Structure 1
Amino acid sequence: MSPRSSCSGANKMSAKIWILNHYATAKGTSTRHFDIAKELAGKGYDVTICASSFEHITRQEKKEYRNGYSLVETHDGVKFIWLKTTAYRNNGLRRVMNMLTYSYRAYMGLKKTGESPDFIIGSLMHPFAALVGCLLAKRYGCKFYFEERDLWPQTLIDLGKVSRSNPVVWLLSKLELYLYRNADRIIVLFEHAVGYVQGKGIDPCKIVHIPNGIDLARHDRHSGKLPAEYELWFRQHAGKYIAAYTGAHGLANNLDAVLDAAKITKEGNEQIHYLLIGDGPEKERLTERKRREHLTNVTLMPPVPKEQIPAILQQVHVGLLPLKDSPVFKWGISPNKLYDYMASRLPVILLCDTENSDIERSGGGVVIKEQFPVHLAGKLIEFAANPEGTKRMGQAAREYVVSHHSWNILSETLLSAVREDGTALTRGL
């Protein structure tokens, strides 16, 4: 992409950054860009996040629109433009319409702000949002950063959701390459994804690795009082060794491996109990499987607000991170729940055939790469018998996440890329 002469942020007190993320929020889940933006705003940046106000997790509208289709709010110095989009209940046509209405209203709405951005970050929560970011950057002659959250369409292929010969795969591949070539920077969340992008013929100097992270102050602030139903549950399960999973219940999350391990430990160690918190397309089937197989050492609980997770994790002994055995994970992983576990001083057990993970680097847990159920059961029995050793693992996990995954550190990676691009975003530069 050719240099944009209108990007004169070096002569400005505060450069403008627009972030397009359909699912961004100021609290709860999907706070990645809000957390980055707070760090930038605290250093004098003018940051606007454009997001849909329709909540994907709850399938509910979270704003009230009296006139028009957009609302503007400010949270901790970050401006949010909320867009009203088509409501949906499942992954059908109405969800596609939700994506399209977001994309159209984001493009039209940002044009009407009367502002001229210096940087636009288009996040691939779905391809249309990133494409709109690219088109707006061309319109304003500013820098475009393409953030590829998942490696579309490769993730869809490797998880078995679509065939490689599907016409949608061809279209997504062309769009991915277009965004790569037209981006000034490509942000990836997975460390080894640098190799994936480079394999598409892209200059590796354009690629920036910014994994997920955690707002440690917010996490620690919410580590206190338990929700009432969980306070009762933990009293009822006093003396149990609790292995917890918090997150989506989908095919990629491989929770059947956890239930398989539960069958083994039910016979070998009745002290171990599995707590699965969340929702998703597999939740009903997993609940029925638990009932049918009499897995009394498994509890499936509904999702809770993100703010309640730290208090719950304070009461458990180990964090579980099961993933489907799929080639997509060779590019690395960066799930938010991992950093929630680590910040809570929990040793983590990862089920995934991946190399050089944060768990291995930190010494904050173990990685199981094959025969997931048998080895998971064995490790849990081992952990339950060695509380001092697992406590040391949990402390190592906490120290690692403080040093490598706090947002004040990760935001500096973005700043370094910006400075290399020749546009100063900090005051006084």
Structure 2
Amino acid sequence: MNILLIHQYFLEDDDAGGSRWNEITKTWVSQGAQVTVLAGMVHANGKEKRSEYKGKLYKKKLQGEVAVWRCHVSEAYNKNFIGRLWGYFSFMFSSLWAGLFKVKGNFDVVIVTSPPLFVGFSGYCISRFKRIPLVFEIRDLWPESAIDTGVLRSKPIIKLAFWFERFIYRKAKLINVLTPAFRTALIENKNVPADKVIFIPNAADFSLSDSLLENFDRQIFRSKNDLNDHFVITYVGAHGVANHLQQVLDAGKLLEDTNVLFLLIGQGMEKEKLKKMAKERQIKNVRFLDPVPKQEVFKYIISSDMGMSVLKKVDTFKTVYSNKTFDYMACKKPILMAIDGVSRELVEQAEAGSYIEPENAEEFNRVIRMYINDQGRIVEEGVNGYHFAKENFDRTQLAKKYLALIKDVLKK
């Protein structure tokens, strides 16, 4: 099978961040598939465009056995909302041109993963031109999440986004959703036929965590990174409007009399603002770290006492699974889950941590103090999460299932 994937945020080999699709494509190649990716030139969390892409519209690279075409994304992406929007549209146009005229080969299927939603236009046009099925994946309910967080306010753009969402759902032969709540929303609220919707969620990467759990010296790493004598709670992910990490600063202020240390690893548009806020409020127990490669991320998680998943308190986020939750599980760490809805249900079903009401610093304070002196609970919930994820969210097994479902579409 020859697969064309359109993913604006497909990672470079040395990028930090969620590597779900990098791992899925490797599994597919190991199963005999050929994979070509149309990807953007700017990292999802606003890193500067790499020097190798400056002044270029396209560049082809090999990442393992996966052929990756890096397509132009406007550098205005980093500046503001209008720049970000133009970054989306510039990739939509550049990926469409690449898919139609640059990339050679007879593809069996084109897969688009969203957000951004408008990249679905590229996938639709390529599917029509090449007469192949379109598979559309929803990683986030967009535009709802952008509206709820206040990022998207323009009524004409909102109207266009909802129209295009309905259009692309009609044209896709298969739609993958990452949470059961997304499935319910599509079938019950957006009238998408149930037989068109599949569920291949975010998952845990045990290929890396199992090796580190067996061979990694946690104590040496803690000493080297000034983590000794701290109760370390690690957050890995974006520092954006949707994450509302100010709630972590508020919790840190209330926990100043303890040995709690919050590690915030990642990048995003709000990061400098958060660092300035922490300095002005003299919050000493929150430490900001730049993004690091996934192996380093796992070392930090294993060296921590707990992992933390955090989002803004809006109804749309009750439908999402936090990607890093599965990494915490794979590393046998209990989870502080400051996201209501399906993410809360996941942690409670697995008995792998505790729910905290988002944006409620007093609840952060109360729950964390319960854990500080209860090492037995920390170990038990970490093991619970590991086994639950191993049974239900193994990325390799889910990638194989995903490929099998796509093959079924081609047969029909």
Q: TM (normalized to structure 1)?
A: 0.86
* Native 8 Å contact 2:205 2:395 kept in 1: yes
Counterpart residue number, 1:8: none
Question: Does residue 109 of the first structure (1) align with residue 98 of the second (2)?
Answer: yes
Distance 2:278 2:306 in 1: 21
Letter in 1 for 2:6: L
The residue that corresponds to 2:331 in the other structure is 344
In the aligned structure 1, how far is the partner of 2:110 from the partner of 2:67? Answer: 14
Equivalent-residue separation in structure 1 for 2:281 and 2:18 (angstroms): 35
Which one of the candidate residues 190, 201, 205 is aligned to 2:191?
201
How far, CA to CA, are the matches of 1:160 and 1:54 in structure 2?
Answer: 23
Task: Report the more deviating stretch, 247-256 or 310-319.
Answer: 247-256
Q: Residue 108 of structure 2: which of 110, 113, 118 is its match? A: 118
More helix per residue: 2
Q: Which amino acid aligns with 1:169?
A: I
Matched, 1:160 2:150: yes
Structure 2: gaps (5+ residues): none
Equivalent residues in 2 for 1:198-237 (5 A)?
198=187, 199-220=189-210, 224=216, 232-234=224-226, 237=227
User: Against the structure 1 CA distance between its residues 370 and 100, is the aligned structure 2 distance closer, same or farther, given a 3 Å change threshold?
Assistant: closer
Matching of residue 38 in structure 1 with residue 26 in structure 2? yes
Distance in 2 (alpha carbons) for counterparts of 1:281 and 1:106: 25
* 1:3 aligned residue: none
**Is residue 140 from structure 1 mapped to residue 130 from structure 2 by the alignment?**
yes
Matched, 1:241 2:231: yes
Segment of structure 1 superposing worse, 76-85 or 187-196: 76-85
Query: Do the aligned partners of 1:100 and 1:128 also contact (CA within 8 Å) in 2?
Result: yes
CA distance change for structure 1 residues 418 and 241 in 2, over 3 Å: closer, same or farther? same
SS of alignment partner, residue 279 of structure 2: helix
> What one-letter code is carried by the residue in structure 2 that aligns with 1:240?
H
* Pairwise CA distance, 1:417: 2.2
State whether structure 2 residue 263 is matched by structure 1 residue 275: yes
Tell me how far apart the structure 2 counterparts of residues 77 and 190 of structure 1 sit (CA, whole Å): 29
Task: Assess if the C-alpha contact under 8 Å between 2:18 and 2:323 holds in 1.
Answer: no
Question: 1:203/1:238 Cα in 2 relative to 1: closer, same or farther (>3 Å)?
Answer: same
Indicate the residue corresponding to 1:294 in structure 2: 282
| Contact 2:334/2:378 (8 A) holds in 1 | yes
1:47 aligns with 2:15: no
Deviations 1:192-235 (A, max 9, x none): 11111111111011111222223322345567489x9975442x
Separation (CA, whole Å) in 1 of partners of 2:273 and 2:98: 42
User: Which whole-Å deviations, capped at 9, do the CAs of 1:257-302 have from their partners, x for residues lacking one?
Assistant: 22222222224xx222222222323323322332333322222333
* Structure 2 counterpart of 1:189, from 173, 178, 190: 178
Q: Does the CA contact (< 8 Å) of 1:262 and 1:298 recur in 2?
A: yes
d(CA) in 1 for partners of 2:89 and 2:60?
Answer: 20
Matched, 1:373 2:361: yes
Alignment partners' CA distance in 2, 1:278 and 1:372: 22
Q: What letter corresponds to residue 119 of structure 2 in structure 1?
A: A
| Secondary structure in 1 matching 2:249 | helix
Whole-Å separation in 2 of the counterparts to 1:394 and 1:48: 37
Retained in 1: the 8 A contact 2:222–2:303? no
Find the aligned partners of 1:126 and 1:205 in 2 and give their Cα distance.
24
1:353 paired with 2:331, answer no
In the aligned structure 2, how far is the partner of 1:115 from the partner of 1:306?
32
Instruction: State the TM-score, normalizing by the size of structure 2.
Output: 0.89
1:362-386 CA distance string (max 9 Å, x none): 1111112367322221121111111
The change in CA–CA distance for 1:229 and 1:69 in structure 2 (over 3 A counts) is: farther
1:90 aligns to 2:76 (yes or no): no
Give the equivalent residue in structure 1 for 2:161: 172
**CA distance 1:81–1:225, change in 2 (3 Å):** farther
Kindly provide the amino acid, as one letter, of the partner of residue 153 in structure 1: P
Q: SS of 1:54's equivalent?
A: coil
Find 1:285's aligned residue among 255, 266, 273. Answer: 273
- Paired letter, 2:279: R
Report what 2:322 is aligned to: 335
Distance 1:176 1:59 in 2: 28
Residue deviations 1:51-86, cap 9 Å, x none? Answer: 123334363334736997333333332221222433
How far has the Cα of 1:397 moved from its partner? 1.3
1:4 is matched with none
Q: Is the contact made by 1:345 and 1:397 (CA closer than 8 Å) also made in structure 2?
A: yes
Aligned partners of 1:279 and 1:73: how far apart in 2? 25
Alignment match of 1:150 (pick from 140, 145, 162): 140
Q: Aligned with 2:11: secondary structure?
A: coil
Name the SS of the counterpart of 1:421 in structure 2.
helix
Q: Which residue of 1 aligns with 2:119?
A: 129
Q: 1:21 to 1:266 in 2, by over 3 A?
A: same
**Identity of counterpart residues, as a percentage?**
23
Higher gyration radius (CA): 1
Which moved further from structure 2: 191-200 or 78-87? 78-87
* Preserved contact between residue 247 and residue 360 of structure 2 (Cα < 8 Å): yes
> Distance in 2 between the 1:66 and 1:244 partners?
34
Cα shift at 1:361: 2.1
Question: Once structures 1 and 2 are overlaid, which stretch shifts more, 208-217 or 148-157?
Answer: 208-217
